[in-house]
């Protein structure tokens, strides 16, 4: 029986438990998607400027066909021989630098990061992990402790192995060549070594997306990577959000940041919504992990997942979507800059390719975050048929991260609507 929207909200709490999260004050009931568009239960159409998982577009025909074809043929685990995973891994690793040639496939980004941290432990014999203080790397017992917003009393005591450094913030604390960041990482490494935990790895999103995607110059992570290597630790790049051409200029954000990581973790956009993640490293690192931990993943790398993931790579190439990301990204930022000339509340405009946004402030001089105002804007945009979100330490940065087929025309609709919403929303009330 079809439930009303009100009944769905009540039944979510009843069946999924209290405090299950939803987006928006007035939650959306989406029933269909196609390309960059979504439709709600009443048939209203929304422009999706937020969802990065349907990377090559909602219900992309190539991906749907690949899943359907493989699901009607065979789906089983990787203890039987199957060429699908081999073809996929060959094509995936061809997009990365040479040492990154071996892969463990998982079902989520969390699993991938969990493995990456355990790899660092098996390679170095140490357990100290460094991350930024405004990040998110997933939901397992181990990696959930990398989110500083977690309740400190929870987590089986695993947080004893973690140290945090301030996330880069190009707007409030510029660090043009990354030296200040490298210095705080070096400080934490020294402390981990002194206290006896030892240093195993630094894990970062190379575009610091959850941290608010600060504007960092190409090669910015270079000096930090040097510090990590010298200390004998692994450099882990979490490309769960930043990868697969999202940033437009490069296939991988670590390339833009000027480094070849020891381990790369993948997820979200990898198979357009089919649950697929991966850890990429060299064969020795993956071998060390498998010697240290007996590892098997029932669903990771199954033939249907690999077919879906392969279709994403094919579609990116066939539709030239990374070039589109670069091109539309430049247009979007110029539209945002024009709005910044009109509205004082836009303190900073930034992004790369199809991840872009603006930081909202109460005052350009003090840069005080306009967090409540940003929330109001997001909710008003939803009522105007535009889906986007907010992020960053103060939750005052508009987060715009649409599917990769997003066009300049789509961007114009987004910014014309944002212009009208900003004109009608007082900064304080």
Ligand X SMILES: Cc1ncc(COP(=O)(O)O)c(C=O)c1O
CB of 208 to ligand X, least distance (A): 10
Contact segment (CB under 6 A) with ligand X among 108-116, 169-177, 213-221, 322-330 equals: 108-116
Residue 399: closest CA among 172, 209, 254: 209
Single residue of 48, 159, 169, 238 touching ligand X by CB under 6 A = 238
The CA dihedral of 101, 105, 111, 115, to the nearest 10 degrees, is -40
Q: CB of 107 within 8 A of CB of 277?
A: yes
CB of 235 to ligand X, least distance (A): 16
CA distance 310 to 401: 22
Crossing angle of helices 303-318 and 61-71, in 10° steps, is 160
CB of 383 to ligand X, least distance (A): 26
- Report phi then psi at 106, rounded to 5: -130, -175
Single residue of 124, 132, 210, 410 touching ligand X by CB under 6 A = 210
Single residue of 240, 270, 307, 398 touching ligand X by CB under 6 A = 240
Q: Does 205 bind ligand X (CB under 6 A)?
A: yes
Under rule CB under 6 A, how many of the chain's residues touch ligand X?
16
Q: Does 273 bind ligand X (CB under 6 A)?
A: no
Q: Does 121 bind ligand X (CB under 6 A)?
A: no
CB of 106 to ligand X, least distance (A): 9
CB of 337 to ligand X, least distance (A): 27
Single residue of 267, 353, 369, 403 touching ligand X by CB under 6 A = 267
Contact segment (CB under 6 A) with ligand X among 131-139, 246-254, 359-367, 398-406 equals: 131-139
Residue 134: closest CA among 75, 63, 77, 208: 208
Q: Does 54 bind ligand X (CB under 6 A)?
A: no
Subset of 132-191 contacting ligand X (CB under 6 A):
136-139
Residue showing the smallest CB distance to ligand X in the complex = 109
Q: Which residues of 342-357 are buried (b: 16+ CB within 10 A; e: fewer)?
A: ebebbbbbbbbbbbbb
Strand pairing report for 277-281 and 102-106? antiparallel
**DSSP secondary structure string, 367-394?**
TEE-HHHHHHHHHHHHHTTEE-EEETTT
Which is closer to ligand X, CB of 35 or CB of 267? 267
Q: Does 300 bind ligand X (CB under 6 A)?
A: no
Strand ranges inside 160-312, DSSP E: 162-165, 199-204, 234-238, 263-266, 277-281
Quote the Cα angle for 416-420-423, to 5°: 135
CB of 184 to ligand X, least distance (A): 20
Contact segment (CB under 6 A) with ligand X among 21-29, 107-115, 124-132, 345-353 equals: 107-115
Q: Does 110 bind ligand X (CB under 6 A)?
A: yes
Q: Does 213 bind ligand X (CB under 6 A)?
A: no
Residues 6+ apart with CB under 8 A from 190: none
- Report phi then psi at 297, rounded to 5: -130, 110
Sign of dihedral through CA atoms 252, 254, 260, 264?
A: negative
Q: Does 325 bind ligand X (CB under 6 A)?
A: no
CB of 353 to ligand X, least distance (A): 16
Residues 6+ apart with CB under 8 A from 316: 55, 56, 244, 245, 322, 404
Q: Does 109 bind ligand X (CB under 6 A)?
A: yes
Interface contacts to ligand X, rule CB under 6 A:
108-110, 113, 136-139, 205, 210, 238, 240-241, 267-268, 277
């Amino acid at each position: 029986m079809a439930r009303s929207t009100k009944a769905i909200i009540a039944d979510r709490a009843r069946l999924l438990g209290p405090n299950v999260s939803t987006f928006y004050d007035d939650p959306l009931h989406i029933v269909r998607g196609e390309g960059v568009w979504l439709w709600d239960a009443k048939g209203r159409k929304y422009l999706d400027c937020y969802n990065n998982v349907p990377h090559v577009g909602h219900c992309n025909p190539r991906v749907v066909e690949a899943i359907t074809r493989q699901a009607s043929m065979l789906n089983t685990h990787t203890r039987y021989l199957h060429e699908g995973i081999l073809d996929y891994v060959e094509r995936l690793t061809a997009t990365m630098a040479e040492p990154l040639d071996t892969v463990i496939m998982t079902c989520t980004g969390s699993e991938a990061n969990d493995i990456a941290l355990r790899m660092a432990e098996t390679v170095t014999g140490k357990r100290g992990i460094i991350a930024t203080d405004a990040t998110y790397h997933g939901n397992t017992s181990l990696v959930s402790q990398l989110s500083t917003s977690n309740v400190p009393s929870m987590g089986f005591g695993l947080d004893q192995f973690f140290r945090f450094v301030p996330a880069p913030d190009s707007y409030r604390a510029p660090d043009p060549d990354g030296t200040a960041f490298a210095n705080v990482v070096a400080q934490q490494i020294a402390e981990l070594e002194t206290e006896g935990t030892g240093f195993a790895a630094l894990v970062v999103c190379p575009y610091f997306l959850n941290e608010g995607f600060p504007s960092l110059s190409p090669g910015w992570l270079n000096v930090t990577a040097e510090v990590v290597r010298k200390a004998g630790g692994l450099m882990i790049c979490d490309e769960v959000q930043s990868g697969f051409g999202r940033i437009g200029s490069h296939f991988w954000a670590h390339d833009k940041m000027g480094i070849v990581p020891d381990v790369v973790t993948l997820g979200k956009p990898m198979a357009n919504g089919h649950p697929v993640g991966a850890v990429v490293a060299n064969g020795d690192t993956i071998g060390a992990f498998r010697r240290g931990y007996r590892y098997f993943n029932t669903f990771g790398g199954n033939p249907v997942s690999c077919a879906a993931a392969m279709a994403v790579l094919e579609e990116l190439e066939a539709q030239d979507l990374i070039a589109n990301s670069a091109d539309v990204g430049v247009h979007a930022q110029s539209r945002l800059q024009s709005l910044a000339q009109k509205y004082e509340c836009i303190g900073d405009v930034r992004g790369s390719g199809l991840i872009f946004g603006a930081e909202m402030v109460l005052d350009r001089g003090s840069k005080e975050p306009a967090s409540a105002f940003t929330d109001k804007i997001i909710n008003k945009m939803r009522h105007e048929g535009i889906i986007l979100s907010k992020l960053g330490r103060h939750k005052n940065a508009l987060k715009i991260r649409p599917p990769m087929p997003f066009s300049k025309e789509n961007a114009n609709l987004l910014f014309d609507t944002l212009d009208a919403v900003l004109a009608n929303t007082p900064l304080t009330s």
